[in-house]
Structure 1
Amino acid sequence: MRVPVVVATSLLAGACIGAPSPVPPVAATPITPPAPRPMLPPPPQLVAPDRFGLSGALRQGGLTLGHAPEGTTGLTLDGTAVAIAPDGRFVIAFDRDAAAQAVLIAALADGATLTATLPIAPGAWRIERLPTLRKVPVPGGEFARVRGGELAQIVAARARGGDAEGWRQRFIWPATGRISGLFGAQRIYAGEPGSYHGGVDVAKPEGAPVVAPADGVVTLAADPPFTLEGRLLILDHGHGVTSAFLHLSRIDVAVGQTVRQGAPIGRVGRTGRATGPHLHWAMTWNGARIDPMLVAGAMPG
C-alpha cells in the first residue's frame, strides 16, 4: 500500500523547514520634547486715576499726593521714576508747561502693570504782550562765566535726595503779605517769549522773618549772594520736592541742617536782581516748576 509512504514523506518535508531568521531590532529614535512657551507678562491694565488715591491739583503747576496700589514695586510718571515711601505714599507734580495728559504706571510684583491717564488742567497764566519792546539780551563775558558756576550749584542742590518728610505735610506760607508777583507770569517782547516767573513774590519790609514752609534739609545757602538770586536758600523736602527762597538779606541756617516747619530760616531782603524788598518763593519737583500757591493755598489774612 502506498498511502503511508506519502504521509511519511510529507512529515519528513515538514521537519526539514528551518526556524525563521531573527529580525534585527529597530533603533529607537529619541523624541525631543517641545520647547516651553515663554512666559509673557500679563497685559497692562487701564485703571481710573482714583486707583492711585490721588489728592491735590491735577493741573499745570500743581502737586499731588497719592498711594500706590498694593503690590507695587515701581512707579513712573511719563517715564520718570517716582519714589515710593515704605507705606506706599508718593508725590508727583506737573510743570508749568505740562501736557494735557500724564501717564502714571505702577509695576506690580506679579509682572502686571496698572496704567492711569491723568487729565491735566491748563493754568491761567498772566501773559503781558509788549509788541514794541525788544527782549533784553543775556549779558556775556564775566557774567556768563560766574553764572555758569551758580547754576551748577543750584542744579546740584535740587538734585540731592534725602530722608526729609516735609513733602507729606500741608505747606504753610514762609512769609505772609501782599502777593506782588504770580507764578507763571510771562512777557512777550515783539513776539518773542521771555522767561516766565518761576515763583511767587511776597512784598515784605527788609528784615521780615522767613520760616520753613515744611520740614526739610538745607542743601544750599548762597552767601556771598548770587548775581540774580542774591542770598539764596534751598530746602529739600524729600521725594524730589524743593523750595528756594531768593533775595534774602540774611540766611540763618547752614547746609546740612534739618529744619522743622515754621522754624526761622532767614530774613527778607533785596539782594541780587530785585527792585525792592520781597521774598521770592519757588518750588520744584524733580525739575518740574510748580506753583507755591497751589501747594500752600490762599494767603492767610
Structure 2
Amino acid sequence: MAEPAPPAPPAAPRAAVLRSADFGFTGGLIQGGLAFGQAPMGTVALRLDGKTIPFATDGRFLIGFGRDHGPAATVEAELTNGDLLRQALAIAPRAWDIQSLPTLPRGTTPTPEFLARRKTELERIGAARALRSPVEGWRQRFAWPVTGRISGVFGSQRIYAGEPGAFHSGVDVARPSGTPIVAPADGVVVLAAEAPFTLEGNLLMIDHGMGLNSAMLHLSRIDVKPGEHVRQGQRIGAIGTSGRSTGPHLHWAMMWSGERIDPQRLVGAMPVS
C-alpha cells in the first residue's frame, strides 16, 4: 500500500499592511482639547500613541490632549484582516496665563494627618474616574452648569520663587453660595461626597461615557446620589465655598482617560446674562 502523502505545510500568515488614513476628526486637536473621530469600518482595536482607547458600535470615538501635551500624536486602527490604518496628528500649542510671584513661597509643608487623609481621598477620586458607564452624554453638545463671571481659566499657573505650582485644572464660575448648578450633559453619578474633601470640598463627579467625566468642586449642596442617571440641564447641586476655596464659586473640571480637558473648549463662550 502506498504511503499517504505528507500534509501540506501551513500557509504563511498574512503580513499586516500599514496604510495612512483619515479618521475625520472634528474639534480640538489642541492642548486641553477634545476631538471626535470616526473609526474605519472593520476596526477591532483603536489606539492613541499605543494606548488602547474605546470606540462606539458606530465607530465614533473621542481623543483628548492634556494641557502640556507635545506637538504630535498618532492614532492607529487595527482591522479585522490585521491591517493597520494610521494617522499622524499635529497638536496645536496654547499660550497659558502664567503669573510669577518671586517673593512668595509655594506653601507650607503638609502634616502627616493631612497626607493620610488626602491619600484616601485621592484613592476615591481615582476609583470614580476608573468607572465606565454605558451612557452617551459624550455625544451631546455640552452646556454650562451655571452662568456667571469666569473667575479662573484652565491652564493658568503661578510660579512661586521660581518653583511652579500646580496649574489650574478647570474653569471657575463665581456666583453666590446656594446658586443651583445643572448637569452639563447626560451621565451617571460616580462620586457624591458625603462629607467635604480637604481640597475639593463637597465633590460631585459624573461619568459621561467613553472615558469622559466631569467634576464639580466646592459645592454647598449635592442633590444627586452615586449611581443615579442624570440628564443634561437637571439640577445636581449648588455653588458653595467648601474645601480650599477663597470665595463662593463653581470649579468645573473635566478629564478624558487621564488627560485633563479644558471645559470651555466644549461649551464655548459664556452666555450673556
TM range (shorter): over 0.9
- Cα deviation for residue 36 of structure 1 reads 5.2
- Cα deviation for residue 34 of structure 1 reads 8.6
2:55 aligned partner, one-letter code: I
Tell me whether 1:258 sits opposite 2:232 in the alignment.
no
Q: Which residue of 1 aligns with 2:238?
A: 267
Cα 1:138–1:38, aligned 2, differ >3 Å: closer, same or farther? Answer: farther
Residue 214 of structure 2, aligned match among 243, 246, 269: 243
Q: Which residue of 1 aligns with 2:67?
A: 96
Asked if the contact 2:17–2:82 (Cα under 8 Å) also holds between the matched residues in 1, the reply is no
Q: Which residue of 1 aligns with 2:183?
A: 212
- Cα deviation for residue 299 of structure 1 reads 0.8
CA distance in 2, matches of 1:120, 1:240: 20
CA distance in 2, matches of 1:245, 1:221: 10
RMSD between aligned alpha carbons? 1.7
* 3-state SS in 1 of match to 2:196: strand
- Cα deviation for residue 135 of structure 1 reads 1.3
Q: Which residue of 2 aligns with 1:65?
A: 36
- Cα deviation for residue 190 of structure 1 reads 1.9
2:50 aligned partner, one-letter code: G
2:174 aligned partner, one-letter code: A
Q: Which residue of 1 aligns with 2:17?
A: 43
- Cα deviation for residue 54 of structure 1 reads 1.0
- Cα deviation for residue 296 of structure 1 reads 1.0
Q: Which residue of 1 aligns with 2:155?
A: 184
- Cα deviation for residue 138 of structure 1 reads 4.2
Q: Which residue of 2 aligns with 1:165?
A: 136
Where do 5+ consecutive residues of structure 1 fail to align? 1-27
How many equivalent residue pairs? Answer: 271
Q: Matched residues, percent identical?
A: 57
CA distance in 2, matches of 1:231, 1:33: 70
2:168 aligned partner, one-letter code: H
CA distance in 1, matches of 2:205, 2:7: 64
- Cα deviation for residue 44 of structure 1 reads 1.1
CA distance in 1, matches of 2:109, 2:212: 29
Q: Which residue of 2 aligns with 1:77?
A: 48
CA distance in 1, matches of 2:97, 2:11: 59
- Cα deviation for residue 132 of structure 1 reads 2.1
- Cα deviation for residue 295 of structure 1 reads 1.1
* 3-state SS in 2 of match to 1:134: coil
Residue 85 of structure 2, aligned match among 101, 106, 114: 114
CA distance in 2, matches of 1:89, 1:41: 27
Structure with the bigger percentage of helix: 1
1:192 aligned partner, one-letter code: E
- Cα deviation for residue 35 of structure 1 reads 4.9
Q: Which residue of 1 aligns with 2:170?
A: 199
CA distance in 2, matches of 1:138, 1:83: 40
After the TM superposition, which parts of structure 1 deviate over 4 Å for at least 4 consecutive aligned residues? 30-37
